[in-house]
């Protein structure tokens, strides 16, 4: 009787054609192209691009439409101008504050971007426009490829620009706060009937000239206003701006400066 064989039985080697068929069957399907950037080992992307600037932000159709429509809402409820004029002025002043105080140019550019976007939430409602604006800005800036750390700086500034809950959490936020509150001018009044002016219309309507002086040598930020006291009194100015001035003082301190206001050449 034959003794049964033990051990591993080796099957015959497959032909070349069979080997190719088997390899193809076990291959994973290709990863679909989702339009995401591909990363090198050093962490940079092949699709690297220059940092986002205010110029690009202003060209974005969502930004243009949302700010314009937000101002339409403000006009409908009797508020002063919150459109592209105001956005541009706040952006310019916020950038200028940080440049004058020798902050990095990129930080100043982020302040300009935050300044331009700070009231974009008015497209939803005046109430809660701060939080809404931060969320809208987050979406737009993310879509445009801004780095997360920079997005955090911008939306933090947008989310903290308004009293009573706003705080100058960083230099970008501080610059936006001061720039926003310094835009007091008769050109902001949207009410075409002077007899229907409220106190905000009267105060803004009385301001013939406003200028923000930043003196890095003595560490002082000064808002100088020329007002027509036949339209609004100095006391009326303080009636609506006292809380804003308090926030501006805190913002100036965050930038290592004092804050002053002068009206018709007199410190107040």
**pLDDT score at 15:** 61
Both tokens of residue 253?
């301190």
Note whether residue 258 is domain-resident.
yes
Domain-located, residue 71 = yes
For residue 20, being part of any structural domain is answered with: no
In a domain, 119, yes or no: yes
Which domain does 208 fall in, by range?
54-267
pLDDT, mean of residues 106-131: 98
CATH number (domain holding residue 126): 1.10.3210
The backbone torsions φ and ψ at residue 118, rounded to the nearest 5 degrees and listed phi first, read -65, -30
Beta bridge partners of 267: 262
pLDDT tier, 94 (very low <50, low <70, confident <90, very high otherwise): very high
**How far apart are the C-alpha atoms of 135 and 176, rounded to whole Å?**
17
Residue 97 falls inside a structural domain: yes
Please, how many CA atoms are within 13 Å of residue 122, restricted to the half-sphere of its CB?
28
**Res. 66 pLDDT band, cuts 50 70 90:** very high
Q: Taking the mean position of all CA atoms in its chain, how far away is CA 109?
A: 10
Residue 91 lies in a domain: yes
157 domain-assigned: yes
Structural domains in the chain (count): 1
Note the Cα 46 to chain centre separation in Å. 27
In a domain, 151, yes or no: yes
């Amino acid at each position: 009787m034959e003794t049964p064989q033990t051990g591993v039985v080796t099957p015959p080697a497959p032909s070349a054609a069979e080997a190719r068929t088997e390899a193809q069957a076990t291959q994973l399907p290709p990863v679909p192209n989702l339009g995401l950037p591909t990363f090198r080992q050093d962490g940079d992307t092949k699709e690297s691009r220059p940092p986002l600037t205010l110029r690009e932000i202003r060209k974005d159709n969502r930004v243009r439409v949302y700010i314009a429509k937000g101002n339409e809402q403000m006009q409908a409820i009797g508020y002063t101008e919150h459109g592209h004029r105001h956005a541009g002025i706040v952006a310019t002043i916020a950038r200028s504050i940080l440049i004058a105080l020798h902050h990095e140019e990129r930080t100043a550019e982020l302040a300009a971007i935050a300044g331009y976007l700070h009231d974009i939430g008015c497209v939803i409602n005046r109430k809660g426009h701060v939080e809404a604006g931060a969320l809208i800005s987050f979406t737009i800036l993310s879509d445009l490829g801004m780095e997360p750390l920079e997005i955090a700086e911008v939306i933090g500034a947008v989310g903290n620009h308004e009293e009573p809950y706003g705080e100058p959490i960083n230099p970008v936020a501080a610059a936006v706060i001061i720039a926003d509150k310094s835009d007091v001018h008769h050109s902001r009044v949207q009410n075409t009937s002077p007899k229907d002016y409220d106190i905000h219309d009267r105060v803004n309507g009385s301001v013939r000239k406003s200028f923000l002086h930043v003196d890095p040598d003595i560490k002082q930020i000064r808002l100088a206003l020329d007002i027509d006291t036949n339209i609004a009194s100095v006391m009326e100015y303080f009636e609506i701006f006292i809380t804003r001035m308090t926030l501006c003082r805190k913002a100036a301190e965050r930038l290592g400066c004092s804050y002053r206001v002068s009206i018709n050449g007199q410190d107040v």
